[in-house]
Chains A and B, each alone.
Chain A
Amino acid sequence: DAGITQSPRHKVTETGTPVTLRCHQTENHRYMYWYRQDPGHGLRLIHYSYGVKDTDKGEVSDGYSVSRSKTEDFLLTLESATSSQTSVYFCAIRDSSRNNEQFFGPGTRLTVL
C-alpha cells in the first residue's frame, strides 16, 4: 500500500460546514494527489502537490483547497461543504523509484447532508 493512509475513513457532515481530509505517506514521495470518485465520472483530479508548499489545481478544484506543509501530509479542505461534494475521496502518491507508478490510499467516504 506504499504507506498511504487517509483519515477519516468515513464522515457525515452538514451543508455549509468546513471539512478537512488528511492524507499521510511514510515514504517521502514528492508528488501527492487528491481525486474524487463518482459513479459515471470515474476518478477526477482535484489538486496535486509536487513538493512542500507546491500545489496546483486539477480538473475539479472549485470548492476545494489543499495544503502541504510537510512532505508526508497532504490536506484537502472543503471550506463550506455542499451536497455535490458527497463522494469518495482518494489520495495517491507517485513513486519515482517504480516507474512513476501511482499508489492509492484506502479512500474517504464523505456524505454531505
Chain B
Amino acid sequence: AQRVTQPEKLLSVFKGAPVELKCNYSYSGSPELFWYVQYSRQRLQLLLRHISRESIKGFTADLNKGETSFHLKKPFAQEEDSAMYYCALSGQGGSQGNLIFGKGTKLSVKP
C-alpha cells in the first residue's frame, strides 16, 4: 500500500537549533517525494522536491531509498520556520501523479 508516515505531530525547538522532520514512505514503484509547508492560515506551498535537489530557505532533504525515508533538515532553525510541514509522494503520470500526504508535523521554533 502507498503510505507516507510522519511520526511526529509536533516538534518544538529553540531558535538556532538543528531541525529534522522525519518522513518515511511505502511505495512499490519509483515515487517522487515532496515537502509542502503551510504557514499560519495560508495555503500550502511546495518547499522542495527530491528530484530538484535544491536547498530552499536553508532546508534540505535527501531521498534514502534503502530506508525509504525523506527527512527534512535545517542546521539552524529560525522563528519564521514555525509552520505545518507535510511530506507527500506521487507516482508517475496520470492518476499515479496524485499526491499522497502524511499527517503533518507542526514545527514550533521558540525564541
Given known contacts A40-B9, A101-B46, A104-B43, is B97 in contact with A94 (CB within 8 Å)? Answer: yes
A interface residues, Cβ below 8 angstroms from B: 1, 31, 33, 35, 40-45, 48, 50, 56, 58, 90, 92, 94, 99-102, 104-107
Given contacts A44-B101, A100-B93, 16 further A-B contacts (CB under 8 A): A31-B97, A40-B9, A40-B103, A42-B6, A42-B102, A42-B103, A43-B101, A43-B104, A45-B98, A45-B99, A58-B98, A90-B43, A99-B49, A101-B49, A104-B43, A105-B43
Given known contacts A99-B51, A104-B43, is B98 in contact with A48 (CB within 8 Å)? Answer: yes
A104 touches B104 (CB 8 A): no
Residues of B within 8 A of A106 (CB): 42-43
Dominant SS among interface residues on chain B:
loop
Q: How far is the CB of A113 from chain B (nearest CB, A)?
A: 22
- 12 pairs, A vs B, C-beta closer than 8 Å: A41-B103, A42-B6, A42-B101, A42-B104, A43-B44, A43-B99, A43-B101, A44-B101, A56-B95, A94-B97, A99-B49, A99-B51
Query: How far is B104's CA from A90's CA once the two chains are assembled, in angstroms?
Result: 15
Tally of B interface residues using CB under 8 Å: 22
Q: Taking the complex as formed, is B24 at the interface, i.e. its CB lies under 8 A from any CB of chain A?
A: no
> Taking CB as reference atom, which chain B residue is nearest A56?
B95
Q: Taking the complex as formed, is B35 at the interface, i.e. its CB lies under 8 A from any CB of chain A?
A: no
B44 touches A90 (CB 8 A): yes
B86 touches A42 (CB 8 A): yes
Residues of A within 8 A of B90 (CB): 100
A50 touches B49 (CB 8 A): no
Q: How far is the CB of A27 from chain B (nearest CB, A)?
A: 16
> Taking CB as reference atom, which chain B residue is nearest A59?
B100
Query: How far is B95's CA from A100's CA once the two chains are assembled, in angstroms?
Result: 12
> Taking CB as reference atom, which chain B residue is nearest A40?
B103
> Taking CB as reference atom, which chain A residue is nearest B45?
A104
> Taking CB as reference atom, which chain A residue is nearest B52?
A99
Query: How far is B93's CA from A100's CA once the two chains are assembled, in angstroms?
Result: 8
Q: How far is the CB of A94 from chain B (nearest CB, A)?
A: 6
> Taking CB as reference atom, which chain A residue is nearest B51?
A99
Query: How far is B97's CA from A42's CA once the two chains are assembled, in angstroms?
Result: 18
